[in-house]
Amino acid sequence: MTSITLASAGAGQQQQSSTQVSTGPWTEIPQIARVGNAVLLRCVTAQGSFFWQIQGTQIAAAPATAWATAQATPMQATESSPPIASVLPMTPLPPMAPMRMGNMEMSLNPMTMRMGKMTLGPDLPTVNTPKFCTQCGAAIALGNRFCGSCGYQLS
């Protein structure tokens, strides 16, 4: 089995492409030749000669007629290397502190905004907010189940 792996790494990114072909054992050391913007790779085995064209991150089979013997360079045999390790995930950022500007404050968890005595955000329990009867409009005390003015049942 012949495996060709291309790997490139730059700032913040890495790319890898590979191909595997069942060639059998090599009878000669593989050779490589530069042709224009591409590279040709030649492997000779008992089954015959295999040719690949490598350009950028692309690996493709190439015709034998593309091989330029005069420009060939023998390669050195090496042990196969493990694939490029993936980048470790980033650690999460700590929660953001509330933002303050004058008498205005904004918090992200939970999303709330305060300006003076006014507060916007998720349903917060109201402490000193007077409630009114929806039937007659009279003020009602916190905890009352019926309006003291008209007797309407409060929800």
pLDDT on residue 150: 93
pLDDT on residue 97: 85
- 105 occurs within a structural domain: no
Cβ contacts of 151 within 8 Å, gap of 6 or more? none
If one counts the domains in the chain, the total is 2
- 78 occurs within a structural domain: no
- 142 occurs within a structural domain: yes
CA separation (Å) from 86 to 9, 16, 18, 143? Answer: 11, 11, 16, 60
Structural domain that includes position 144: 129-155
Can you read off the two tokens belonging to residue 57? 């991150």
- Number of neighbouring beta carbons within 10 Å of residue 52: 20
The runs of H, that is alpha helices, within 19-144 are none
Q: For residue 130, is the peptide bond before it cis, meaning its omega torsion is within 30 degrees of 0? A: no
Asked whether the beta carbons of 44 and 54 are under 8 A apart, the reply is: no
- In the block, tokens 């059998």 appear at 24
Instruction: Provide block-wise average pLDDT over 10 residues at a time, the chain (155 residues).
Output: 78 80 85 84 88 86 76 68 75 86 87 87 64 88 87 87
- 145 occurs within a structural domain: yes
- 123 occurs within a structural domain: no
pLDDT on residue 22: 82
Can you read off the two tokens belonging to residue 115? 């300006």
**What type of residue is 99?**
M
pLDDT on residue 36: 79
DSSP 154: P
Cα distance between residue 93 and residue 66, in whole Å: 54
Which domain-ending residue is among 71, 99, 119? 71
pLDDT on residue 128: 58
Asked whether the beta carbons of 97 and 87 are under 8 A apart, the reply is: no
